[in-house]
A and B are shown apart, each in its own frame.
Chain A
Amino acid sequence: MTLLRHLAGGMGVAVGLTLMAGSALAQDCTTKIGTVLPTSVDWGRPIAETAQFAVDQVNAAGGAGGCKIEMVLRDTQVDPKVGVDAAKALVDLEGVKVLLGAVSSGVSMPILTSVTVPGGVMQMSCCSSSTAFTNLAEEGKTEGLWFRTFATTAVQSAMGAKIAQDKGYGSVAILYKNDDWGQDMARLIAADFEAVGVAVTASVAINDGQPSYRAEVTEALGTQPDALYLALYPAEGTAAVREWISLGGTQKMILANSLKSDEFRENVGLQYLGETVGTDTASPRSESADAFRAAYVERFESEPNGPGLGNSYDATMIALLAMEAAGKDASGADIAAAVRKVTDPNGTAITADTAGFTTAKEVLAGGGTVMYQGATGNVRFDANGDVSAPAVIWSFTESGTEEVEYLSLDEVDSFIASLN
């Protein structure tokens, strides 16, 4: 399955190359953008493929800032040293003004503090979730160069609490991935459950790569919760849920968006996921999101179901739109400042595809602003470079996932406000 997807991705890249070759005739200059992603990790590669996909679409529209865009991709190996070195090489040797990445907060953070901020390069991450970035931005240390399209964990956890409240669960046990994202999630969701009057019976950390999670699962099971909340990734999520079900745990589960994956559904088995619902930020409510979905399916022959794909696409698109808005040879700070112009709620709405980018070019050339409607909805950054987002509650089906309930940005924000 994964292999097929990769093969399809490889073919997609080849198709994209042909497209690029076509448009290269129109321009004689090339602007490089840097991408640092964990491509040596199974879920990292589709994120990189999606970024390249966005670049290809922009090149089909004639590139950004008057030049064809070349994405230089480097692997982080999820090793901070390697990621930082790759980022530095991209900034110094390739001269990039825009850096996309990384995924892990533990890699994105040292890149931010030691490469992009000192170098005046805009950094936009698809997937880093740590609350530490918000704190850093509040202290003014990101200098407005940092953005991420991954909605803060607050949206996810609030939606998890809403599900528990709506379904009338009295108590919930939490299993969370033992990393920065998981620890943030566990802390936030516990507070949100409490706010809606749901008792948290246990909160158990799940470490990566253990052969068995019996001890952890038994600990959670022993507290006899009505439901189980899972902030895990597919690999250890599958292992933990299998043990949970086989030990007689309830099928009433609430999942974070990281488990919205075909791999998880297939490996656990749909028959055990009947009462399971998940949350996700970003809902395809605009034409552009449908366009993204359709284009993605056409290109990769699968639904964009992996973690971070829509976010990666939006990060790339917004960065390129900002490059277009900032004009040729703009500095990283100029491009970062131009992000506002392309995510303006009062601007002209544009779709997330080649046609949308072409429209954006015309509007921006005329001195206007645009509102980018992307794969994760209307992306809008706050002063810290964070996004809030509409949310969707979903469940698994035979072929993927289906939407159970949609909450607009305003509904999400008011629900979050009601928790405090």
Chain B
Amino acid sequence: MIGTISYLVFFATTASILAIAVLGLNLQWGNTGLFNGGVVAFFGAGAYGTLILGGTPQDGHLGGYGLFYPLALLGGMAAAGVMAWIVGLLTLRLRHDYLAIATFGVAVAFENLMRNAEWLAGGAKGVRGFERPLRDALGDGFLYNIAFFITVLIILITVYLFLERLVASPFGRLLRAIREDEEAASSLGKSPSRIRLTAFITGSVILGLAGGLYGTFYAFVSPQDVLPTLTFQIWAMLIVGGAGNNRGAIFGAFLIWGAWTASGWALSRFAPVEAQLYTGSMQFVLIGVVIVGMLMWRPQGLLPERLVVSQRGSKE
């Protein structure tokens, strides 16, 4: 029983961290229409930034500054933000599919940089030696995982409330205006490129926050954590949950990650022994079927965007 709870807490922690990342992407794609194909680069920048700033000294690469944890996490977010600013300046003039290709390239470049630049982040071996905050006080077991989960949950709720307010604000209206018709927005005297950049950076900082929490949770990050698979997983979560809807984003993260892990568990438990060795491949097929089915029958996602009329004409 305690085992089940312990696992569920662990699962919910991972899912919540991913949900934060999906919220970040939702701001970019769902609300502003920016096709970020390099989610994993910003996620990774947050994870690497946090572990390098907050970790213990390691031979042969940068890091070991042992910063106070919240500062390290903020540093990770800042790393993601700075990267988004540079990438944004260079690529945000690109429209949808071109932006997707450019950002995807950034993500691949990021992974390769981390894999090869051993002086920077340990190369393929990754960054280790990170002491999880408050580990001395809380130990290493179940209690720690509960405390960490509650922290992540509070951060998730904070990010959600922040985004809900942001989207409901005039700024949020502006994001949607740009998404729907950029020229119309600029004809009203708005500066789409500036707003797009702001939204891109904000979303990326949230992605970096998720990455920082992810790195903290595992006390380790390596180039294997920043493969394109993660980008697709986060996109799948947003598409299934419902782009443009923050609740949908969170729901999608839990649903897809739940399906991902539950299918592995179910296959290992119920599939016949001969098929056990093929469960991995079958899992990919199952997940693929879910996503394709979703795109065919409910492309707006399970929780579609709610259309808001923020100011009724009659009241003017």
Establish whether residues A48 and B224, one from each chain, have CB atoms under 8 Å apart when the complex forms.
no
Would you call A245 an interface residue if the criterion is a C-beta within 8 Å of the partner chain's C-beta atoms? no
- Identify which of A76, A118, A132 contacts B141 (C-beta below 8 A): A118
Interface string of A42-64 (1 = CB under 8 A from B): 00110011000000000000000
- Identify which of B14, B126, B217, B279 contacts A109 (C-beta below 8 A): B126
Establish whether residues A85 and B141, one from each chain, have CB atoms under 8 Å apart when the complex forms.
no
Establish whether residues B277 and A180, one from each chain, have CB atoms under 8 Å apart when the complex forms.
no
Size bracket, chain B contacts? 35 or more
Measured CA separation A199–B222 after assembly (Å) = 32
Segment 143-181 of B: residues with Cβ below 8 Å from A: 144-145
Kindly list chain B residues whose C-beta atoms are within 8 Å of the C-beta of A14.
273-274
Closest chain B residue to A77 by CB distance? B280
Would you call B196 an interface residue if the criterion is a C-beta within 8 Å of the partner chain's C-beta atoms? no
Size bracket, chain A contacts? 35 or more
Would you call B10 an interface residue if the criterion is a C-beta within 8 Å of the partner chain's C-beta atoms? yes
Assuming the contacts A73-B268, A93-B265, A118-B144, asked whether A88 and B7 have C-beta atoms less than 8 A apart, the reply is yes
Establish whether residues A106 and B222, one from each chain, have CB atoms under 8 Å apart when the complex forms.
yes
Would you call B76 an interface residue if the criterion is a C-beta within 8 Å of the partner chain's C-beta atoms? no
Establish whether residues B283 and A109, one from each chain, have CB atoms under 8 Å apart when the complex forms.
no
Segment 65-118 of A: residues with Cβ below 8 Å from B: 72-82, 84-86, 88-89, 91-93, 95, 104-107, 109-110, 113-114, 117-118
Kindly list chain A residues whose C-beta atoms are within 8 Å of the C-beta of B118.
183
Establish whether residues A109 and B128, one from each chain, have CB atoms under 8 Å apart when the complex forms.
yes
Assuming the contacts A17-B273, A80-B218, A82-B260, asked whether A89 and B125 have C-beta atoms less than 8 A apart, the reply is no
Establish whether residues B277 and A110, one from each chain, have CB atoms under 8 Å apart when the complex forms.
no
Assuming the contacts A105-B125, A106-B126, asked whether A92 and B224 have C-beta atoms less than 8 A apart, the reply is no
The 8 A-B residue pairs with the shortest CB-CB distance in the complex, in nearest-first order: A40-B280, A75-B280, A106-B224, A92-B7, A180-B124, A110-B218, A118-B140, A106-B222
Establish whether residues B264 and A75, one from each chain, have CB atoms under 8 Å apart when the complex forms.
yes
Measured CA separation A330–B81 after assembly (Å) = 49
Kindly list chain B residues whose C-beta atoms are within 8 Å of the C-beta of A135.
59, 128-129
Kindly list chain B residues whose C-beta atoms are within 8 Å of the C-beta of A9.
277
B118 to A: closest C-beta gap in Å: 7
Segment 234-281 of B: residues with Cβ below 8 Å from A: 260-261, 264-265, 268-269, 273-274, 276-281
Establish whether residues A95 and B11, one from each chain, have CB atoms under 8 Å apart when the complex forms.
no
- Identify which of B220, B273, B274, B280 contacts A39 (C-beta below 8 A): B280
B62 to A: closest C-beta gap in Å: 16
Kindly list chain A residues whose C-beta atoms are within 8 Å of the C-beta of B145.
118
Measured CA separation A17–B217 after assembly (Å) = 38
A114 to B: closest C-beta gap in Å: 5
Measured CA separation A48–B219 after assembly (Å) = 27
Measured CA separation A377–B144 after assembly (Å) = 41
Measured CA separation A117–B265 after assembly (Å) = 22
Establish whether residues B116 and A205, one from each chain, have CB atoms under 8 Å apart when the complex forms.
yes
Establish whether residues A183 and B10, one from each chain, have CB atoms under 8 Å apart when the complex forms.
no
Would you call B310 an interface residue if the criterion is a C-beta within 8 Å of the partner chain's C-beta atoms? no
Establish whether residues A79 and B268, one from each chain, have CB atoms under 8 Å apart when the complex forms.
no
Would you call A307 an interface residue if the criterion is a C-beta within 8 Å of the partner chain's C-beta atoms? no
Establish whether residues A180 and B280, one from each chain, have CB atoms under 8 Å apart when the complex forms.
no
Interface string of A23-47 (1 = CB under 8 A from B): 0000000000000001111001100
- Identify which of A104, A139, A178 contacts B129 (C-beta below 8 A): A139
